[in-house]
Amino acid sequence: MPFQLRDYQTRLADAGNAAMLDGQRPCMVAPTGAGKTVIIAELARRALARGEQVVVICHREEILAQIVASLQTHLGQRQVIAMVTAGSRPRMDRRVVVGMVPTMVRRLKLLEQLKGCTLLADECHHAPSPTWRKVIEAAQPQRFGGLTATPVRPDGKGLGDEEMFDLLINGPEAAELMAAGKLCRYRLFAAPHRIDTRGMRKRGGDFTTADMERRVVEIQGEIVRDWMQLNPNRERTICVAVSVEHAHQVAEQYRDEGIAAEAVDGNTPKPERRKIFDRFRRGQITVLCACQVVDEGLDVPEATCLQILRPTASLRLWRQLIGRVLRPAPGKDAALLIDHTDNWLRLPPPDAEMDWKLNAEPQEPREKRQAVIDPDTGEVTEGEPIETEVHQTGAKLVEITPDLLAQAHPVVARRLLNERCRSEVEQRAPDLRRWLNYLDVLEDETLKALESALGLQPGWAQGQMMLRMLLTPGQRLAATKRLQRSWGGV
């Protein structure tokens, strides 16, 4: 039965189809998980209705399988599809041809039979590369269009100077799809142990593998421990390593801790790779470690957690990796992102609205958003420090209103409260004992100051610090948020 297209899918298909009929070469943009293969299937249906041959190109077997499945669903099982893959001998006169670029580039003479077709490129940010160019030029399409979630080169610059596309058609933003329940919301955590990227060399717009391999050794013994802390429910995880060898090493570390884990890479035989992905989907594998084969096209809604061991300077790679776990699934409330790098600080948040343009400039979000990390939980959220300075009768105090505290990030809220408490201690304000109701949010130095000011038994502050260590990061965060909601002005 054909797909029932969502509104935004219909809008993209309408705009892309109209552009191709007008002789333009559109690049259609929609977030990872938005259903680009559904849009491809609808564009193919319209081209077939006009009597045109349809050719769809991609670069990985997993993507090809998804495209073929979508075409068969939308066009009907009776539609014969020729597949150009390694070892195949397809009929190039079929009305629908789906091909792997790495195979097609070795059969350029054969592609001359496709002249005049409607050519659709999935993950079309690869189209400007020499290999893809050769395939597209050999096919000599009458109409050409592509779809991608990331219309940028590896260095973060737009595709405008590549002369492959002359029109950019923007679809919905990730934030819009999250709000509508079409993509999962996410929680992003900066892992306790992280790779320092300062001084790392770059090549082709991203960090060199050699430098990444040297730096990742610094956290090698903490990877599984951090994962257990931040993923206590042991949600199915895609772990992104810095190299093929590193992926296998990490998988072995997980297995040593009794956690079902396997590594997959580009050299894994395709039948075995399919079996590994199937075992992961069924839950027989908890952690899937990889270096490259999970960055694009892998459709595994069952994956809830993404563990990022690989630092990257590439906006494209960052967005593609996060997209692996944003697909909704039954019982999946939110995706969990565990970043062992400083990607979260250097690159836009997963739901940042991007100002995609068809030019050769670095692509930027429409609005800069400041990332704030909670030192207790490691959770990264959006927020800016709120500065307050109020003078009352010559004494400098921090004025904390309910509205101010409610809008503050938990980190900022705790800072404000500790500043207020220490200020009152210095001013020898009356009724300091009321601060004993807020011990969960007081810092070590504040506790010590309070012990001295109240004349409490020596060692009281130390005892409170030890008790606080028994709280989980989540419990302390919850205590802060409760105080933010109920604050009446101490």
Q: What pLDDT digit, counting tens, does each position of 310-359 carry?
A: 999 999 999 999 998 999 999 898 999 999 999 988 898 888 899 999 99
Q: For residue 444, what pLDDT is reported?
A: 87
The DSSP 8-state label assigned to residue 179 in this structure reads H
Domain assignment present for 267: yes
Q: What pLDDT digit, counting tens, does each position of 35-94 carry?
A: 999 999 999 999 999 999 999 999 988 899 999 999 999 999 889 999 999 888 899 999
Q: Count of domains in the chain?
A: 3
Task: Output the average pLDDT for the chain.
Answer: 88
Q: Is the pLDDT of residue 389 over 50?
A: no
Q: What pLDDT digit, counting tens, does each position of 447-473 carry?
A: 999 999 999 999 999 998 888 778 777
Task: Select from 121, 154, 173 the last residue of a domain.
Answer: 173
Q: pLDDT exceeding 90 applies to what percent of the chain?
A: 59
Statement to judge: residues 190 and 147 lie in one domain: no
Domain assignment present for 379: no
Statement to judge: residues 342 and 411 lie in one domain: no
Q: Is the pLDDT of residue 397 over 60?
A: no
Domain assignment present for 394: yes
- In this predicted model, which residue has the larger pLDDT, 98 or 60? 98
User: 29, 171 in Cβ contact below 8 A?
Assistant: yes
C-alpha to C-alpha distance for 85 and 100, rounded to whole angstroms:
6
How many CB atoms within 10 Å of residue 454?
14
Closest by Cα among 273, 221, 211 to 243: 211
Q: What pLDDT digit, counting tens, does each position of 209-268 carry?
A: 999 999 999 898 899 999 999 999 999 999 999 999 999 999 999 999 999 999 998 888
C-alpha to C-alpha distance for 37 and 309, rounded to whole angstroms:
29
Statement to judge: residues 66 and 155 lie in one domain: yes
Domain assignment present for 2: no
Statement to judge: residues 148 and 189 lie in one domain: no
Q: pLDDT exceeding 70 applies to what percent of the chain?
A: 92
Task: Select from 139, 173, 207 the last residue of a domain.
Answer: 173
> What CATH number should be reported for the domain holding residue 73?
3.40.50.300
What spatial distance separates the first Cα and last Cα of the chain, rounded to whole Å?
63
- In this predicted model, which residue has the larger pLDDT, 286 or 399? 286
Strand (E) positions, 173-319? 185-190, 202-203, 206-207, 237-240, 261-264, 287-290, 305-308
Q: Is the pLDDT of residue 408 over 80?
A: no
Statement to judge: residues 188 and 233 lie in one domain: yes
Q: For residue 418, what pLDDT is reported?
A: 85
C-alpha to C-alpha distance for 474 and 464, rounded to whole angstroms:
18
Q: For residue 301, what pLDDT is reported?
A: 87
Statement to judge: residues 447 and 307 lie in one domain: no
Q: What pLDDT digit, counting tens, does each position of 155-174 carry?
A: 888 998 778 999 999 999 99
Statement to judge: residues 167 and 292 lie in one domain: no
Task: Select from 288, 322, 352 the last residue of a domain.
Answer: 352
Closest by Cα among 455, 476, 61 to 273: 61
Tally the C-alpha atoms within 13 A of residue 376's C-alpha that lie toward its C-beta: 24
Cβ neighbours of residue 313 closer than 8 Å, sequence gap 6 or more? 156, 202, 205, 206, 207, 346
Helix (H, G, I), strand (E, B) or coil at 464: helix
Statement to judge: residues 86 and 216 lie in one domain: no
Helix (H, G, I), strand (E, B) or coil at 285: coil
Q: Is the pLDDT of residue 486 over 80?
A: no
Q: Which domain holds residue 343?
A: 182-352
Q: Is the pLDDT of residue 372 over 80?
A: no
Highest mean pLDDT among 40-44, 182-186, 482-486: 40-44
Domain assignment present for 128: yes
C-alpha to C-alpha distance for 342 and 376, rounded to whole angstroms:
17
pLDDT (average), residues 180-208? 91
Statement to judge: residues 347 and 441 lie in one domain: no
Strand (E) positions, 363-463? 371-373, 379-382, 390-392, 395-397
